[in-house]
Structure formats: structure tokens, C-alpha cells
Amino acid sequence: MTPTAERAVSALTIPPDAPFFIVMNAGSGRKQGDLTREILDRELGGAGRRYELRLVDDPAELAATARMAVEDAIQQNGVVVGAGGDGTLCAVAQATLGSGCPFAVLPRGTFNYFSRDHGIPAGLDESTRLLLTARAYPVQVGVVNGRMFLVNASLGLYPKLLEDREIYKQQFGRSRLIALFSAAATMLRAHRHLRLHIEHEGQMREIRTSTLFVGNNRLQLEQIGMREAPLLEQGLLAAIAPRAVGRIAQIFLSLRGAAGRLSDADNVISFAFRSITVTHPSKRRRRVKIATDGEVTHLDMPLEFHVAPEPLFLLKPEPEIALANRS
């Protein structure tokens, strides 16, 4: 579908008096919350638009706060806004999906893959101003056992990388350099390989891998050089699983990914799909650690990965502008 046709068929215009219900994870510090409120007052308040900023100090309260914001938005014909990194945005989006409410984001994370992929400006001033003019477009989300993800979901080594990264961030601060250093340190340590059965389109495949990674973000997949990246726009997800290799080979695979050449590696299995079922060969009920958009939890196998049957309606720039803004 051309960008013009997409606008004509899919875009939802936001009422000029729609209030914004903004849910923000305050874990990064009260100073960031104060700065956010100052910009919201200037950009939204200055334009005569009503908003409510709901700071969440306890991450355990994030989902409940998001659900309350959705209820208020439904009653007042408003927009639900997530402010934070990809994990926070996913939690707020999970509450919004299926509600009929438009969803918007104010990127405040380290990598911001979701917002960048949709051309939303990284600067808080610019992304706040966008709320006043943007229309809502349907965007695809992934689901694993009822848990939504905007960017990716994974099991195996990748959740361990995320846990270690949080420890490094608490000690040394939040930056991309710290995140990359943490990942290298984790991969140098010994780790167990997974034995998995993957059922896809009636076919069963057994693999041994350090991690199973399911991607729903074209920008992230393009950065590591996956050929499946364009297929996300056809309503598919992408599965990536490096074959069981040693630590040194694992690091070389990571370097290929950093260079945007992971698809060229012989030791990587990848394919696009609409739905897959992942089980353990023993068939016993197992509880596994899984990461969705950077947030680690435990889920029972089998794992059912699929594209959500309904889209999330995201406030974003017009298609031509969004494409130009992707970085």
C-alpha cells in the first residue's frame, strides 16, 4: 500500500481538544520527571491542551496505573501516552491494546527502538509537539503467551544479557557504551545452550541455541543485517537463533551483528512467521525466563509467539516524514 493510500484508509484524526493521559516511569529520577513536566506545561499547556502526568515510582504499579489511564481516556475521548524506554512503552501499550484509545509515546530510554522505527523524534520537546498534530496509524505488535511486545521477545542468553546490563547501569549509569560493555562481559562467561522444538506451518524443527530472539522492529533487524526485516511490514515476525557454538564464536557472531552482517553467518537460523509454538523436547511443563522489550519475567512452556490480531493505533508522523526520521 502506498503512503497516500495508507493515510486515506488507516489514519485516525485526533480531536483538537482530546486530553492526554501520560504515564511515566519515574525510576530514572525525580529530576527527569520535573523536566518532563516543565516541557509538557510549555508545549501542551501553552497550546491550551489538557494533560495529566502520572509518575510511577514503583515499577510494580506501572501496569495498574496504565489501566487507570486507559479507563480515563475512554471516558474523556483522550489519548494514552507512555513516557520512558521501550519496556515502559510496552507496559502502557499492553493496557491500551484493544481499548479503542489512540496511543502515543515520549521516548526517554537508552535505545528507543520503537519510537525511532516509527520516525518519532527523540527530543522531548519535538515528540511533545508532535502530540498536537499527529494522526494515529495502526502498527503491528507481537504476543507471547498473552504478553505483548513492541520490539522483541527472547529466551536464553539474551534475558541474561539484559539482567546483567541493569546491574552495570546501576553501578556506572545509563549509556549505550555501558550496555555494550556489559553484553561483552556476559558473553565471555560460560552459558548453557537450549534444546528447543519449534513448530512452524505444520513442520517441527529441533534446534540447539544460546538464545531464541523474536523481532518485531524493522530498524533493529536492519541494524544487525537480517534479510527478514522488510517482511515485518507484511504482517510477520522474525525468529533468529544462533546455532550452539563456543564463547569465542558467539562473540564473533555478535560482532557480525554489530557490523550489520548477521544474515551472512553460517551459524544462524532465521525465518519469518505469523505464529510459532516453542516447546522443550522432553514435553514436560517448564517455566522459562523470557524478556519482552527489555523486561524479564517467567512464562510456562509451550511458548506461543504470534502477531496480535488487532493493531495498536499510534500517533506518529505522516508516512513520508516518519520514513525520513528513522535512524
pLDDT of residue 4: 37
DSSP code at position 131? T
User: What span, in angstroms and rounded, lies between the C-alpha atoms of 247 and 253?
Assistant: 10
pLDDT in tens, 55-76: 998 888 999 999 999 999 999 9
Is pLDDT of 168 > 60? no
Strand arrangement of the beta sheet that strand 147-149 belongs to: 147-149, 142-144, 303-307, 275-279, 194-200, 203-209
Is pLDDT of 1 > 60? no
DSSP-assigned beta bridge partners for residue 218 = none
Is pLDDT of 6 > 60? no
User: What span, in angstroms and rounded, lies between the C-alpha atoms of 141 and 217?
Assistant: 9
Helix 157-172 vs helix 176-187: angle between axes, to the nearest 10 degrees? Answer: 130
Is pLDDT of 28 > 90? no
Is pLDDT of 325 > 80? no
**Percent of the chain residues past pLDDT 90, beyond the cut:** 59
Quick one: CA torsion of 65, 71, 72, 75, rounded to 10 degrees?
Answer: 180
Q: Reduced to 3 states, what is the DSSP secondary structure of residue 88? A: helix
Helix 86-96 vs helix 62-76: angle between axes, to the nearest 10 degrees? Answer: 50
Q: List the domains of the chain with CATH numbers.
A: 3-140+311-325 (3.40.50.10330), 147-307 (2.60.200.40)
Least confident range of 16-30, 185-199, 247-261: 247-261
pLDDT in tens, 232-258: 999 999 999 888 655 545 555 555 455
**Percent of the chain residues past pLDDT 70, beyond the cut:** 77
User: What span, in angstroms and rounded, lies between the C-alpha atoms of 186 and 269?
Assistant: 22
pLDDT of residue 110: 80
Least confident range of 17-26, 45-54, 263-272, 294-303: 263-272
Is pLDDT of 117 > 90? yes
pLDDT of residue 53: 95
N residues, the chain: 327
pLDDT in tens, 260-312: 556 666 678 899 999 999 998 876 668 899 999 988 899 999 999 999 999 99
